Amino acid sequence: MKNILILGGLGFIGKNLLEEFSGDRRYSLIVFDRPAALKKAVRRKGVRYYGGDFDSQAALEKVFRENKVDTVLHLVSTTVPAASDGFEMVYDIESNLVPTVRLLCLMRKYGARKIVFASSGGTVYGPETAHARGGGIPENASTNPICSHGTVKLAIEKYIQLSAYLHGLEYLVLRISNPYGEYHSSQVQGLINVALRNVRDGKLVTVWGDGKVVRDYVYIADCVKAVKKLIDLGASGEIINVGSGKGYSVNEVLRLLRGLAGDFKIERKPGRKFDVPRVVLDIRRLKSLTGFRPTDIRTGIKNTLEWLRKKPE
């Protein structure tokens, strides 16, 4: 049995991963998340829970000291792409990059052999890469992020690879596109979920720019199935895109939402400099390893809408 530590296990991806791992006796799960999240959490039987801030080395070290951690699933991110200016950059570095480097040191100290890192399947790639490719962006494409979020994600990837080179750490970097679906709670990040929640609550849906920005949207159930399958297979030493492989503009997504959730009003704001015009991932590597078959976006939105309508506020 492998002990897997899920950092950020009570977040959007984390909750879905816990559900995906449920009942698989090959794994013993440990969750680390913020104390506030832990207070509200519905605890799963057999899962060990620890509360603490990611930038607290003492809190993290307690987990490693009390458990023989084999694999770390690093899902923590304290910022969103919009946090890309001024002191937000400093906060991004201090709350994400520095604690991750400390984490790598703790893994080495306590003999944890592998890290699976949830990177960004959009912000690590730059606009030149997106424009140069009519199809999906492969994992070996150039990386020229234009926001702090993507820059820090890429820096973390590099430190993980450095630890692999210097100390033999096993790793898997997953460049995840734009997940949507059940257990999403952010009020600002994630077009599909935020828009559906606003429609339900009779609020305006905010659109930045002309709505022509294209993104790859992956249904969260597909995403976590792919993550678990890669862990089951023992995939290591790779960077793998996790997305749907299809692109939809913001305007196309809004039309889909209107057809499924009903009409709503839009609030348009000026375009943002950090938004790459087009990001669609090449997922051939993921498909070849796992047989991945993404859910159709209409079906995914229907499932999300059904969950959201049942969800108590």
**Assigned domain for 312 exists:** no
The pLDDT of residue 20 is above 60: yes
Higher model confidence: residue 185 or residue 84? 185
User: Which structure tokens are listed for 75?
Assistant: 């899902």
**Assigned domain for 223 exists:** yes
The pLDDT of residue 80 is above 90: no
Provide the domain limits for residue 20.
2-180+218-243
The pLDDT of residue 179 is above 80: yes
- Whole-angstrom CA distances from 175 to 25, 68, 109, 118, 246 are 27, 27, 27, 6, 15
Domain total of the chain: 1
The DSSP-derived string for 188-221 is: SS-HHHHHHHHHHTTPPEEEETTS--EE-EEEHH
**Assigned domain for 279 exists:** no
**Assigned domain for 254 exists:** no
Across the strands, what pairs with 281? Answer: 137
What phi and psi, each to the nearest 5 degrees, are found at residue 259?
Answer: -65, -30
Task: Output the pLDDT for position 1.
Answer: 86
**CA pair distance 167, 252, nearest whole angstrom:** 47
Q: Enter the DSSP assignment of 96.
A: I
Summary mean pLDDT of the chain: 94
**CA pair distance 205, 148, nearest whole angstrom:** 25
pLDDT digits (tens, 9 = 90+) for 211-245: 999 999 999 999 999 999 999 999 999 999 999 99
**Assigned domain for 288 exists:** no
Share of the chain above pLDDT 70, in %: 97
pLDDT (average), residues 266-273 = 92
**Assigned domain for 204 exists:** no
**Assigned domain for 206 exists:** no
Q: pTM of whole model > 0.85?
A: yes
pLDDT digits (tens, 9 = 90+) for 103-158: 999 999 999 999 999 999 989 998 866 554 567 999 999 999 999 999 999 999 99
> CATH number for the domain including 64?
3.40.50.720
DSSP-based three-state secondary structure for 112: coil
Task: Output the pLDDT for position 223.
Answer: 98
Residues recorded for the chain: 313
Task: Output the pLDDT for position 313.
Answer: 59
